[in-house]
Amino acid sequence: MKISLQWINDYVDLSDIAPEELAHELTMRTVEVEDIRYQELAYDKVVVGKIMEILPHPQADKLLITIVDVGEAEPYRIVCGGCNLYEGQRVVVALPGSYVRWHGQGEPVLIKKTKLRGEPSCGMICASEELELDELFPASREAEIMDLKDFDFPAGMPISEALQLNDVILEIDNKSLTNRPDLWGHYGIARELSVIFQRNLMPVADFVLDSSLEDNEHSLPVTIESPKRCSRYAGLVFSGLDSRPAPHWMRVRLAAAGITPHNALIDITNYVMMTTGCPTHGFDRRFVNKELIIREARKGETLELLDDTFLQLTAEDLVICDTSEPMALAGVKGGKKDSLHDDTTEMVLEVAVFDPLSIRHTAQRFNVRTEASTRYEKGIDTQRVDISIALACQLLVQLFPEAQLLGYQDAVATTTSQAKIDVSLAALSKSLGRKVDYKQVSTLLFALGFTVQRVDEDILNVVAPSWRSTGDVSLFCDIVEEVARIIGYENFDFIPPTVTLEKAIKQDGFDLERRVREYLAFRCDFREIFTYPWTADDLIAAAGVEAEIELAQPPAPDQSRLRPSLVPGLIGNVRGNLRFQDEIKVFEMAQIFLSGETSPSDPAEIFPVQKLNLAGAIAADEDQGLYIFREVKGLIAQLPDYAGSEQLTFQNISPPVWADKDVWLNIIGQGESIGSLGLLSSKVKNAVGIKRTQVAVFELDMTKLTPQPTRGHEYRPLPHYPLVEEDFAMIVEEKVTWEQVREIVEPMVKELTYVEEYRGSQIPAGKKSLLFHVLLGSDEGTLSSDQIAGKRGAIVKQLSKKLGAELRQ
Amino acid sequence: MLQKLENIEQEAMRALVNIQSEEELQKLSQQYLGKNGELTQVLKGLGQLEPDDRRNVGQMANKVKTSLSEQIDNKRISLSDSAPVLDFPPDLTAPGISPKSGGLHPITQMSYDLNDAFHSLGFVIFSEDEITSELFAFDNLNFPPDHPARETMDTFWIKGTEDKRGADRLCLRPHLTGASVRFLRKYGAPARFVYPGRVYRNESTDARHERAFFQYEALIVEKDFPFASGHLLIDTILEKIFGRKVNTRMRAGFFPFVEPGFEIDMECQVCGGDGCRVCKNVGWIEVMPGGTPHPNVLKEAGLDPEEWSGFYINIGLDRLVMMRYGVDDVRLFHSGDLRFLSQFR
């Protein structure tokens, strides 16, 4: 919202305080001021000029040469393409050094001395849009320059002074206002400033309504048929009006506040709203048939809008009707027929309060947001109608001396009840962390419009003002906030909290998550990534997984499904990173979503299954397939030792959909399959376009890893006698597995280590050479060479007997 | 003969001085002490000498042999000690070999740093699932039904539930605050806990806006906890992220779930508070909301608001990490781009 400081100064005199200070104090205590704009800065070196002479341009038909008095000793020669120039005309001249917006668009451009089609030109005669004044001085056709014919300004007068464009505008963050319906007008902000700076606050208006006019023969009967949705409705009938423009000062203020000026009548309705925060609406009296009824619309009723469109109304919409039909969508938008027209001479002025939720629903249903609906949906107190009527009447009389209030009717369904709160000074002091007394609290609250009555030494009866009683203030903590913010949060000293030591924090689950991440990152050389929970359809399809949980309004049409597995996202990541590097190691730990029903926290909530998963991938050269598979297998096998969880083993139980049919394993923890690893199948790689690369992938269910309560290492005594290293190269059939070899050899040695498999020209077809390494030794003494040879021979013999292995020569 | 021995000794000693390598030394040793060495020859020829000479020459020859052997041994040790470890001239400007380059995501790193700091203050960690309900995302947190504040958080509703209400209307959590009620219901008060995590908003993205981003929330619930003590939480977070004391200010702010509510600003780290483009010339940057939990929230959490109060803060981790490192596009955090991630070691 834009706040004009001149407007504020009507109600509280702050003219001696710098705008920066006002903005700072408002920001600290009330609402955030996002920007301070000095109007006149935009009009530096822009002055009133008087055209003395107009000459044809020798080179161009559409340009003219003007001789303009700009208040200096010599007149300026300015080339201009304006279509409405005449000698003696008062115009706006942007002198060299000023900035204008070319045709009202783009960034401001610096005006310099120049030549136009060969003719020197010093400055520019401006159209209103070039100075962002088109709201105040709308142009009726293209190339029309701004004509100051209605003003008698001397040449050379700065335009900011001439047109009163010397206001300072505070731009307030609307988000910080959502809970303060009282601040949606200048008067509310003026009140806050009067409290902060301890200044006197003037009344909104001193007009006194003549009560003898109420319900007289000129007034229209007002009936509220939906008292829950309209708490108060006043209809005032005025005569002696016309469509004259509002005075310049009012037009300038409205424009500064972001409201386009129209004519005096419409401008007054807006001016009242921008002052008190209570919207008002004018109907042309001629078209209001007999009475005003506030009711729910009937099925089939329509409302024609100013832009000639029709709204189809339903019973959910609150409308203002006369005897025959709806005239306006209450609190949101007026209809075309009954609105104020150029030939309006009598007006029915609506000053009313509608229910916030009702307004909000209607505005949402028709997808319209107006200044009025924005204010109504925050909640306006019924009492505000009175000051709004007073201000409206005062302005009407001021702008239309011949205007007359003929009569009015004021229907009140309910009155906003003021919130009553008992406040204990002791409790207040405790909450604030600082002692406050009756005098300080009552003074401060009184200035904000609260009334305070002292019950005893400690207890105060506090009554909130009506404008704070529509949901904003209702509890003790609201009073804490009022007192604290006006004292100023920066004025409270830090109080160190006291500590009770109970026991050390032990959260095994979180510790395990962290150790797993650190193990993968720091031991295994993986990079942690994050991908979105919504996953692209093509990746889900490629990975072959089923995704059943969907978003109602996805970020993109092909990203509606939430991941049932981390693998699709991982595949997408690998594909992306392969553009820049050949070898990739990435992992992600995040939640996955599966269909099902769970209630982990509140029995009222039924969620799909949500689990924390861990997944990773290694991408490498085509010939590295088995190696990276083994790398993944190794890191899973070792994970429990490094990260501190129960042991994991491997089995073939059910193949993961994304894996090659021969290269996969399930990960077994505590007797059940908790995940898988494997090489991506050619089909998956083809589907996503990964070429000449092997990708080893693993995924497991983190919730199935059981953390060990403490470090799980085991100590083995060091050998008393030296161990002997021996290497074996055994030629075996392809079908012989390492597992078979291990079962035979392991019991015969102190330690057994797999080295590699080898296939090559020296190895017969259908066979492979298996290399392994053993440590031999005895607990009784150092082995002799005969003993070593004996043990070696026994190993070869056993392998040969049971697996048909031969020692490679 | 004695003269010859003397000559041999002197000759050998002179040669020894100039020897530079083990090979030359070996050769020298052979030349004098080897099977056919000069000194060996002398000793072999002793038998042909007169008995008197034999004794003198023998003594002398043995003395020379012992001395020469000693000298050669000493030379051998000295040559070995001074042997260079490389047999070529090394280029020491060649770059070092990098250790493994794996690592945690920068957000995880910061989150863990914060966990450690809060652990040291006696805070526990908590987390809830990412899909939550309107009940916990809004209703329990004192957001009135249909209140405009609900709209400031454009929520990703789960298909099939979007037209329902309360516990039946499911969404990806738009903020973490709902978890506080879950924690307090489960563990009660007093409580000190942090709950980091990822949240989701359905808005359009650019360099400063993301649909998925990380928050870090901390909550203390104690008896009679004055809000001025809340600075402890603020300072802990900012000092951990920026590595030094950062000036902050608390100002009036509205959030339905706190009362009083604050906006917490920190001094702009780019200009040091003087005003610059980053802080829109005000010298302060809005970094987090905070405040005392609203009585209605405490009630939903099963606590008596007359008895309990506390302090809550919530920071957008992405934004602070961006400021800390000068990252200029928030979308990089979810890009998975290793060229970006590998910069955070």
In the listed set A672, A704, A736, which residue is the last one of a domain according to the structure? A704
**Other Cβ atoms closer than 10 A to A155:** 19
Of B131, B105, B107, B30, nearest in space to B72 by CA: B30
Residue range B179-196: mean pLDDT, rounded? 94
What's the pLDDT score for residue B274?
86
CB B215 within 8 A of CB B177: no
Retrieve residue A761's tokens. 């020209």
DSSP character at residue B87: S
CA distance A514 to chain B (A): 8
Within a domain: residue A494? no
Q: Which residues of A touch B149 (CB under 8 A)?
A: 178-179
- pLDDT of A539 strictly over 70: yes
Q: How far apart are CA B235 and CA A266, in angstroms?
A: 52
Question: Collapsing DSSP states into helix, strand and coil, what is residue A181?
Answer: helix
Tell me how close the Cα of B95 comes to any Cα of chain A, in angstroms. 21
Tell me A12's DSSP state.
Answer: S
Per-residue pLDDT reduced to its tens digit, A162-175: 999 999 999 999 88
CA atoms within 13 A on the CB side of A367: 0
CB atoms within 10 A of CB A54: 16
Is position A710 within any domain? no
For chain B, the distance separating the N- and C-terminal CA atoms, rounded to the nearest angstrom, is 78
List beta partners, residue A235.
A350, A409
Tens of pLDDT along B90-149?
999 999 998 888 999 999 999 999 999 999 888 999 999 999 999 999 999 998 877 766
Write the CB contacts of A227 (distance below 8 Å, at least 6 apart in sequence).
A413, A414
Contact A640, A646 (CB under 8 A): yes
Q: Please choose, from the candidates B161, B191, B186, B157, the residue with its C-alpha nearest in 3D space to the C-alpha of residue B172.
A: B157
Contacts of A107 (CB under 8 A, 6+ apart): A101
Whole-number pLDDT of residue B297: 94
- Tell me, yes or no, whether A712 lies in a domain: no
Q: Does pLDDT of A734 surpass 70?
A: yes
Same domain, A549 and A689: yes
Residues of B with Cβ-Cβ distance to A572 under 8 angstroms: 336
CA pseudo-torsion sign A149, A154, A159, A160: negative
Note the pLDDT tens digit of each residue in A426-483. Answer: 999 998 989 999 999 999 999 999 999 999 999 999 999 999 999 889 999 999 999 9
Where does the pLDDT of residue B324 fall: very low under 50, low under 70, confident under 90, or very high at 90 and above?
Answer: confident
pLDDT-derived band at B52, boundaries 50, 70, 90: confident
- B8 part of contact set with chain A, CB < 8 Å: no
Which of B101, B126, B130, B220 to mutate to test binding with chain A, by most A CBs within 10 Å of its CB? B130
In a shared domain, residues A307 and A258? yes
Residue A657 in any domain: the answer is yes
Which of A484, A526, A607 is facing B170, going by the closest CB pair?
A: A607
Q: Which two tokens stand for residue A130?
A: 């070039």
Q: A572 to chain B: nearest residue by CA?
A: B336
State the Rg of chain B over Cα.
Answer: 41
Q: For residues A78 and A80, give the distance between their C-alpha atoms in angstroms, rounded to a whole number.
A: 6
DSSP string, A615-657: EEEEEEEGGGHHHHHHHHHHHHHHHHHHHTB--EEEE-SS--T
In chain A, what percentage of residues exceed pLDDT 70?
100
Q: What sign does the CA torsion over B71, B77, B82, B88 have?
A: positive
Q: Are residues A28 and A54 in the same domain?
A: no
Nearest CB among A552, A560, A602 relative to B162 is that of: A552
Residue B302 near chain A (CB below 8 Å): no
Mean pLDDT of A708-728: 90
DSSP assignment of A25-45 equals HHHHHT--EEEEEEGGGGGTT
Report yes or no on A127 lying in a domain: yes
Identify the bridge partners of residue A304 per DSSP, sorted by sequence position.
Answer: A310
> Do A424 and A408 share a domain, yes or no?
no
Which of B277, B252, B141, B137 has the alpha carbon at shortest distance from B201? B137
Q: Could you tell me which residue, A93 or A176, shows the higher pLDDT? A: A93
Q: Chain B partners of A31 at a C-beta cutoff of 8 Å?
A: 252
Stated pTM of the model: 0.84
Alpha carbon of B80: minimum distance to chain A alpha carbons (Å): 30
B338 Cα to chain A: minimum distance (Å): 7
Tell me which chain A residues have a C-beta less than 8 angstroms from the C-beta of B252.
28-31, 176, 481, 485, 489
Average pLDDT over residues B291-299: 93
A71 lies in the same domain as A123: yes
Contact, A771 vs A757, CB < 8 A? yes
pLDDT of residue B149: 64
Q: Are A614 and A700 in contact (CB under 8 A)?
A: yes
Does ipTM exceed 0.85? Answer: yes
| Chain A CB within 8 Å of residue B240 CB | no
Contact check, Cβ <8 Å, B102/A490: no
How far, in Å, CA of A488 to CA of A41, rounded?
A: 32
Contact list in B for residue A529 (CB cut-off 8 A) is 105, 336, 341
Q: Are the Cβ atoms of B182 and A601 closer than 8 angstroms?
A: yes
Per-residue model confidence (pLDDT) at position A26: 95
Mean pLDDT value of segment A736-753:
96
Residue of chain A whose alpha carbon sits nearest to that of B171: A551
A383, A354, A374, A348: which is closest to A226 by C-alpha?
Answer: A354
Neighbours of A572 (CB within 10 A): 21
Mean pLDDT of A709-733: 91
Establish if B162 touches chain A: CB-CB under 8 angstroms: yes
Nearest to B67 by CA among B9, B108, B23, B16: B9
Contact A281, A376 (CB under 8 A): no
Q: What is the pLDDT of residue B184?
A: 95
- Candidates A348, A345, A299; CA nearest to A327 is A348
- As a whole number of angstroms, the distance between CA A157 and CA A47 comes to 5
Q: Which residues contact B335 (CB under 8 A, 6 or more apart)?
A: none
Q: Do A530 and B167 touch (CB under 8 A)?
A: no
Nearest to B230 by CA among B256, B262, B188: B262
- Can you tell me the distance from the alpha carbon of A714 to that of B328, in angstroms, rounded to the nearest whole number? 49
pLDDT at B153 over 70: no
Between B104, B252, B336, which is nearest A28 by CB? B252
Residues of chain A contacting residue B238, judged by C-beta atoms under 8 Å apart: none
The CA-based angle B206-B234-B249, given to 5 degrees, is 85
The answer to whether the Cβ–Cβ distance between A610 and B131 falls below 8 Å is yes
Q: Is A762 exposed, middle or buried (0-12, 13-18, 19+ CB in 10 A)?
A: exposed
Residues A442 and A323 in one domain: no
Can you tell me the distance from the alpha carbon of A269 to that of A251, in angstroms, rounded to the nearest whole number?
13
- The Cα–Cα gap between B40 and A592 comes to 88
Chain B CB contacts of A525 under 8 Å are 100-102
Distance between CA atoms of residues B116 and A387, nearest Å: 57
Residue A205 lies in a domain: no
* Contact (Cβ atoms closer than 8 angstroms) between residue A627 and residue A643: no
Among A743, A279, A762, A196, smallest CA distance to A488 is for A196
In degrees, to the nearest 5, what angle opens at C-alpha A188 toward C-alphas B286 and B311? 40
DSSP H helix total and E strand total for chain B: 12, 9
How do residues A49-77 score in pLDDT, each as one tens digit?
A: 999 999 999 988 889 999 999 999 999 99
Q: Are residues A134 and A184 in the same domain?
A: no
105-144 of B, contacting A, C-beta below 8 A:
105, 107-108, 112, 115, 119, 122-125, 127-133, 135-136, 144
| Amino acid at position A695, single letter | V
CATH number at residue A458: 3.30.56.10
Q: Are residues A48 and A125 in the same domain?
A: yes
User: What topology does CATH give the domain B106-344?
Assistant: BirA Bifunctional Protein; domain 2 (3.30.930)
Q: Are A33 and A170 in contact (CB under 8 A)?
A: yes
DSSP-based helix, strand, coil % in chain B, nearest 5: 45, 20, 35
> Within 10 Å of residue A643's Cβ, how many Cβ atoms?
22
List of residues 6+ apart from A556 with CB closer than 8 A: none
A326/A321 Cα distance (integer angstroms): 4
Cβ atoms of residues A772 and A752 within 8 Å? yes
Say if the Cβ atoms of A553 and B222 lie within 8 Å: no
Longest Cα separation, chain A: 131
Q: What is the torsion angle, in degrees rounded to the nearest 10, for the CA atoms of residue B320, residue B323, residue B325 and residue B330? A: 80
CATH number of the domain that residue A247 is part of? 3.50.40.10
Phi-psi region of A624 (alpha: psi -120 to 50; beta: other; left: phi over 0): alpha
* Mean pLDDT of all residues belonging to chain A: 93
Average pLDDT, integer, range B23-43: 87
**What's the number of domains chain A is made of?**
6
CA distance A11 to chain B (A): 23
Please give the average per-residue pLDDT across B199-228, as a whole number: 92
Ranges A520-524, A698-702, A775-779, B50-54: which has the least confidence? B50-54
Range of weakest confidence among A598-612, A620-634, B31-45, B93-107:
B31-45
How would you list the strands of the sheet with A724-733, edge to edge?
A751-758, A767-776, A724-733, A806-807
For tokens 């060299």, the residue is A96
Domain match, A576 and A471 both: no
A215 and A83 together in one domain: no
Q: Answer whether A178's CB lies under 8 Å from A64's CB.
A: no
The answer as to whether A317 is a domain residue is yes
Any A CB within 8 A of B259 CB: yes
Token pair in block for residue A373: 């609906």
Q: Are residues A248 and A368 in the same domain?
A: yes
Q: Determine what percent of chain A is predicted with pLDDT higher than 90.
A: 83
Evaluate whether B153 touches B190 at the Cβ level (below 8 Å).
Answer: no
Is A120 in the same domain as A141? yes
**pLDDT at site B338:** 95
Helices (H), A293-382: 356-366, 371-376
- CA A297 to each of CA A310, A339, A362, A771, B64: distance values in angstroms, whole numbers, following the listed order: 14, 19, 12, 89, 132
Give the gap in angstroms from C-alpha B309 to the nearest C-alpha of chain A: 8
Model pLDDT, residue A235: 96
Task: Choose the final residue of a domain: A363, A392, A412.
Answer: A412
Structure tokens at B60: 């002398």
Give the model's confidence band at A742: pLDDT under 50 very low, under 70 low, under 90 confident, else very high. very high
Sign of dihedral through CA atoms A539, A545, A551, A557?
positive
Residue A664 domain boundaries: 508-704
> Mind telling me how many Å the CA of A151 is from chain B's nearest CA?
38
Tell me, what's the pLDDT at A66?
94
Give the single-character DSSP code of B209: B
**How many CB atoms are closer than 10 A to CB B115?**
20
Q: How many CB pairs under 8 A join A and B?
A: 237
pLDDT in tens, A203-213: 999 999 999 99
Whole-number pLDDT of residue A177? 87
Range with lowest mean pLDDT among A97-111, A270-284, A661-675: A97-111
Beta carbons of B107 and A433 less than 8 Å apart: no
Q: Sorting pLDDT into bands at 50, 70 and 90, what band is B152? A: low
Q: Which residue of B has its CA nearest to A377?
A: B148
Q: Is residue A221 over pLDDT 90? A: yes
Q: Which amino acid is at A622?
A: E
> 3-state class of A453 per DSSP?
strand
Q: Tell me the pairing of strands A292-296 and A534-535.
A: unpaired
Is B29 within 8 Å of chain A by CB? no
